[in-house]
């Protein structure tokens, strides 16, 4: 498993955090995050498809790509800004992040079932034009 780092394809054209093709999961402790990663690997997800981040790392990585104030010139019809701010607030509160590259075979329902006992505090799957709530 690697450490999370923001890549150019993880933002919208407006520069808001939107890691399309990924699932972002937040956990209250490092142990919960590690346990979830181990469950995913045991279920067949490659370690290369998993990235973890401490609260400080994740907050630092996404800080510049969260828009806390609405943009009057380019209003958004989506919730990506609010979602990004919420993720940053969780990181600021001490939650650890697990970012999973999600191929089409990895269904959201399966991930929720697999991780139902891991104390996941928040989870989102980023699809093309849609953010799917997994845990909220």
Is the Cα dihedral 105, 132, 11, 119 positive or negative? negative
pTM: 0.87
- Work out whether strand 130-135 and strand 50-53 pair parallel, antiparallel, or are unpaired: unpaired
* Residues 54 and 27: beta-carbon distance below 8 Å: no
pLDDT of residue 68: 53
**C-alpha–C-alpha distance, residues 11 and 65, integer Å:** 7
Closest Cα to residue 4, out of 65, 63, 50, 67?
A: 50
93 vs 9, more confident: 93
What confidence tier does 72 reach under pLDDT thresholds 50, 70, 90?
very low
Segments making up each domain of the chain, as ranges: 2-135
Closest Cα to residue 12, out of 130, 98, 101, 133?
A: 130
Distance of CA 31 to the CA centre of its chain: 17
Low-confidence winner among 37-51, 63-77, 120-134 (lowest mean pLDDT)? 63-77
What confidence tier does 73 reach under pLDDT thresholds 50, 70, 90?
very low
Closest Cα to residue 111, out of 90, 133, 128, 130?
A: 133
């Amino acid at each position: 498993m690697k450490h999370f780092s923001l890549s150019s394809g993880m933002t919208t054209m407006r520069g808001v955090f939107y890691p399309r093709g990924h699932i972002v999961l937040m956990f209250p402790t490092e142990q919960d995050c590690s346990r979830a990663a181990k469950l995913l690997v045991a279920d067949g997800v490659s370690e290369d498809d998993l990235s973890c981040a401490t609260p400080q790392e994740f907050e630092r990585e996404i800080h510049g790509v969260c828009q806390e104030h609405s943009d009057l010139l380019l209003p958004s019809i989506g919730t990506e800004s609010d979602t990004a701010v919420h993720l940053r607030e969780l990181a600021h509160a001490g939650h650890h992040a697990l970012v999973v590259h999600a191929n089409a075979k990895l269904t959201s329902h399966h991930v929720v079932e697999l991780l139902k006992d891991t104390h996941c505090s928040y989870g989102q799957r980023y699809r093309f034009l849609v953010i799917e709530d997994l845990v909220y």
